Structure 1
Amino acid sequence: MPVASEWLDTIKARAALVAEAQPSGIHGPPLKHLLGELQFLTRPLKRKEPGLAVPRSTSPRVVMLLPGFATHPVRLRRLARHLEMAGHTVKNWGLGFNMGPSPENFDVVTQRVLDLHRRYGEQVVLVGWSLGGIFAREVAKRHPDAIAKVVTMGSPFSGNPKANNVWRIYHLITGHSVEAPPVVADIATKPPVPTVALWSARDGIVSPRSSCGRPGERDRAVALRCGHMGFAYSDEAIEAVLAELENI
C-alpha cells in the first residue's frame, strides 16, 4: 500500500532525526532549571490573575505577538491584556499553534504583518516568544520597512541550534532538523531594524547564551529572572516588553 509505505518512511525519517547525536560540548540548561519550568505550565490557564498597574503609553503602537514552539496564542493572553491596557493595539500571528516553520506558514505570517502595516499606516512591533522570535526576526529581515522593532523573548537565535532541551521534540514534530530549517538561511544575522533580546539565566529550555546573543546579532540584550515559560506572562516580562514599546 503506497500510503502505508509513505507513513513508514516518514516515521523512519523522524526517528533518525530524533536519534541524532548531541554535539560534543553543546547542551541545554541544567536539569534543575528544566524542572523549574513545570510550575508555570498551568498558571496562564487560571481564569483570574492579579493585574499590574500599567500606565498609559505616550506613543501607542501596533504589536503582533508570536507564540513559542508548540504553544498557542492563548499562552500570551496575559501579556496581550496588559499591552492593551497601556493603549497598544495587539494582534496575534493568525496561525494558532506554532508547530514550526514552513514556507507556507511563514508566508501567512509575513502577509499578516504587511496587512497590519497597510491597515494602520504605521510600522508594526513584533514580539516573539521562543521560536516566535525566530519568525519575527526573519520577517523583519525581509520587510524592514514594515517593522518598527523586534523583541525576542528566550529565542534561540545565537550559537548552536541544539543548545536547548527540546530539539529532539522539535525534530519529531516538524520532521526537519533545527540545523536546517526550511525558511531560514542564517538565524544569527541581525534584522536591519532595532532588535532587543530578552533572556534569562534561569531559562530551563533554551541556553541563555543562545537567547542573549552576541554583539552584532542584536542591538541590546536585557536580562530577566523568569524561566522560559515565564517570558510569556510573568510580571517582569510584561514590564520589560512595555518598556521596549516606549523606547522606539
Structure 2
Amino acid sequence: MTAMPYVLMYHSVEKCDSDPHNITVSPGRFARQLRWLADQGLVGVSMRELLRAQAAGASRGLVGLTFDDGYEDFLGEVVPALLRHRFTATVFVVSGLLGEHNVWDADAPRKPLMDADGVRWAAMQGMEIGSHSVRHRSLTGLSDSDLWHEVAAGKADLEDVLGHEVSGFCYPYGHVTQREADAVRRAGYSYACAIRTSPVGGRHALPRTYIGEKDGALRLRVKRVRHRTQTRRWGRWGR
C-alpha cells in the first residue's frame, strides 16, 4: 500500500480553432505548463517510470504525464517539448485506428492519429506506449466477449507493433466498473488509468487530474493542492 500517485491527463496539443470537448491545449500553453512543473521542482515521467519509482520509495518530485488517444500531434508538438525538459510521458493508443482519425468524436474536428511508425518512433524517444483499447468504445456497454477483445487484442496488437510488452491501459471515456478493471487485470496489464471521478480505485483504475487550455499557473497550483488533499482523505491505494 502506497500513497496515491499524482498523474496529469492530456489529450491533444496543437493550434485549434474549434474544440467542443476541451481536449486540446495550444503549444504555447503546453510549454508554459511544462515550465511551471519544472519551476516547482517536479519531473514529468511516464506511468511506467512513476510506478517503478514509487515501488522503490523514490517517487518524490515525480508527476505522471499521460496523453489519451494517440494523436499525431504527440509526435510533432508533445515529444519535442517534453525532451527539452528531459521529461517523458505515456501515450495511450487506439490500436485498431492507427493512422486514421478520431472517429469516436463525430461532432468534433477531425484529428489524425499516429500510425505504427509514429508509435515506434515515440517509443524510441523514451515514451511509454499504452493501450486505449482497439476501437475506443465505452467498455461498460459491451458484452463480456467484446470487452475482452477490446482489452486483450489492444495489448497484443501494440506488442506486435513495438516488439515488447505493453503494461498500461487507459479506459475510453474514463468508463470503468469493477468488471472492466478485472478484465484489464486478467489481460496482463500491470496498471490502468481512469479519471478523477472513477467509482473504482486501485492500481487498475488510477485517478488522474485533467489538464486543459485554461490551466495556467494558478489553476495548476490549485489542482496540485487538491490532489494532496484527496491523498490525505483517501489514504492509501493498493491492488
TM category, shorter? 0.3 to 0.5
**TM-score, length of structure 2 as denominator length:** 0.40
**TM-score, length of structure 1 as denominator length:** 0.39
Higher Cα Rg, which structure? 1
